[in-house]
Chains A and B, each alone.
Chain A
Amino acid sequence: DVKVTQSSRYLVKRTGEKVFLECVQDMDHENMFWYRQDPGLGLRLIYFSYDVKMKEKGDIPEGYSVSREKKERFSLILESASTNQTSMYLCASSYPTGGNQPQHFGDGTRLSIL
Chain B
Amino acid sequence: AQSVTQLGSHVSVSEGALVLLRCNYSSSVPPYLFWYVQYPNQGLQLLLKYTSAATLVKGINGFEAEFKKSETSFHLTKPSAHMSDAAEYFCAVSDKQTGANNLFFGTGTRLTVIP
Contacts and interface: CB of A to CB of B under 8 A. Distances in A.
Interface in A17-37: 31, 33
B42 A108 contact: yes
Contacts of A96: 101
Interface in A42-88: 42-43, 45, 48, 50, 58
A101 B100 CA distance: 11
Task: Determine chain B's interface SS by DSSP, over half rule.
Answer: loop
Given A40-B9, A41-B107, A45-B102, A99 B43 contact: no
Interface stretch (B11-19, B63-71, B74-82, B89-97): B89-97
Contacts of B106: 42
B99 A42 contact: no
B108 A42 contact: yes
Nearest to B96: A99
Interface of A: 4, 9, 31, 33, 40-43, 45, 48, 50, 58, 90, 92, 94, 96-108, 110
